[in-house]
Amino acid sequence: MALPSDRPNILLITSDQQHWRTLGFNNPKIQTPNLDRLAGLGTRFDRAYCANPTCTPTRASLITGMWPSAHGAYTLGTKLPESTPTVGQVLRAAGYRTALIGKAHFEPLESTAEVDSKESYPRLRDLDYWRTFNDRCTPWYGFEHVELGRMHGDEGHVGQHYALWLQEQGLSHWREFFQPRQDGIRDTPHDGRQAPPLPPGPGFGWRTDMHWKLPAQYHYTTWTGLRTNARIEAVARDGVPFFLWSSYHDPHPPYCVPEPWASLYNPDDLDDQVGAFQPGEFDRMPLPHQMTRDPRADFGRFNVDGHYTHGYHPHWIDGVTLTRRQMREAIAIYYGMISFMDAMIGTTLDTLQRLGQLDRTLIVFTSDHGHFLGQHGLIAKGPFHYEDVLRVPMIAAWPGRIPAGGRTDSLQTLVDYAPSFLEAAGVEVPLWMQGHSQLADWCGRPSQSRRQAVIVENHHNGAAVHLRTVVTSRYKLTVYRGRPEWGELFDLQADPHERQNQYDNPAFASLRAQLMQQMIDADLEREPAPNRRVAGA
């Protein structure tokens, strides 16, 4: 296929674990002036969904255009095979420069005899290894240039290119600002003193002191923004189009951020932002939901792969132990993390404008999945397919192509991003991609490819909680493998907070059957056909 002479740059900007209602244009309690500005340049999509509500599966889907069950990285702790074809490979072959700055998380934190992970210990902290990584190991998943950092907040998984940058900035004692490694092995700071233990506190990522002492100028959000801008500058000088994934780490817990962002929001002003459990809402829900109300519940009973044992206590049920004050404090920091990221995204928009590249760049902002902020008594993420964790923020802007200031409730899935990027570049979508280009829909044009339903998968942590959801414009149906007694059916129009499960309601029996057929149809439609038929037999 002949490539158009006006091929756009493609800039994918992602946050990590961001609730879809945490942008200034849909929530007046949070300040995101630059993402609001991006929405003004383009269109906001209010019904965008992840492929899987955890990091690795959806991130792998973003670059492959395949669902997790097809590309193989179906849950956390798995590896996307490096032999898997990606959108970056296709765009590189078409003359694009490709780069990934920030968080990858395509590979697990541990290597085994069967799985060699470049994102595992001790390699994660081998800075000599990362110093020459781009010369030896790229293209990596289709990216010819990568700058990586694996951590969130002050947790101990810090290293790779981000640690190299910290040392280049003169912060030789950077280890002092991070917690010990969280795999049972303690780190030793540069001066030989033992690193402090994790401070106690209820709730995943909750801290007694959430005001991180790491200066903002050294924060990984600053690093991601500055290195994104530097890469844009370098490629713009060469006069070739680029595909760049600017992958921010926040607002993924733990909840901690430097000043001035830590004090930007007053927890006392955020009481209406705290989600809540409504008594009785789990009465007709599957057993795992009901178990979350017991802080001593043993989720180890659902273990099948040996990673979790008897007494396993998942972080997502800690919401039952948090006070409303603690939730407000966590949300204030969570919002501060988002506003910090927004400020750096603004510098990238300014860089594109200064270089004369803004009008010729397709920019898409989204998150890999959502986040519970107390809704249904839950926090963080987990095997619960509520809108809070399945739905993601989404903005698409391409001046002159995508309507400025637009808003739509058309269904979107992150699996469709890769083929949409290829159509924008004038490149044929390969048959191995399961997603379908939504570029026409993004540009406000009628399209037969516009989705009537989206699928969300979840084979959670390899455990026996294996579920799948189909979402339509109004309804949502969730089924569990091997658990006919479990199921969820919500009318998102009549029950937007998803508190009335109609799965076993006789009045909804006909609708349930229709949605089950729609799920089967959607599943058949995404069946890959990687080889073109060339003859009758």
Supply the CATH number for residue 102's domain: 3.40.720.10
Residue 3 lies in a domain: no
Q: In the predicted model, is pLDDT for residue 231 greater than 80? A: yes
Query: What's the domain count of the chain?
Result: 1
Q: What's the whole-number mean pLDDT along residues 488-495?
A: 98
Q: What's the whole-number mean pLDDT along residues 200-225?
A: 82
Residue 102 lies in a domain: yes
Residue 116 lies in a domain: yes
Mean pLDDT across the chain: 90
- Residue 186's pLDDT is 39
Residues 6+ apart with CB under 8 A from 118: 107, 137, 140
Structure tokens at 451: 């989705």
Boundaries of domain holding 96: 9-184+194-525
> What's the pLDDT tens digit per position in 12-46?
999 999 999 999 999 999 999 999 999 999 999 99
Residue 337 lies in a domain: yes
Query: pLDDT category, 309, cuts 50, 70, 90?
Result: low
- Residue 347's pLDDT is 98
Give the pTM. 0.94
Closest CA to 16 of 248, 258, 305, 184: 248
Residue 537 lies in a domain: no
- Considering only residues 402 and 195, tell me which one the structure prediction assigns the higher pLDDT: 402
Distance CA 415, CA 54 (A): 14
Q: In the predicted model, is pLDDT for residue 4 greater than 70? A: no
Residue 339 lies in a domain: yes
User: Is the Cα dihedral 210, 216, 218, 223 positive or negative?
Assistant: positive
Residues 6+ apart with CB under 8 A from 288: 299, 302, 383, 384, 465
User: Is the Cα dihedral 307, 312, 315, 316 positive or negative?
Assistant: positive
Distance CA 99, CA 44 (A): 25
Q: In the predicted model, is pLDDT for residue 459 greater than 70? A: yes
The vertex-104 CA angle with 98 and 106, nearest 5°, equals 110
- Residue 197's pLDDT is 41
Q: In the predicted model, is pLDDT for residue 476 greater than 70? A: yes
Residue 16 lies in a domain: yes
Residue 189 lies in a domain: no
- Residue 422's pLDDT is 98
Q: What's the whole-number mean pLDDT along residues 62-71?
A: 97
> What's the pLDDT tens digit per position in 152-180?
999 888 999 999 999 999 999 999 999 87
- Residue 204's pLDDT is 57
> What's the pLDDT tens digit per position in 282-298?
999 999 899 888 888 88
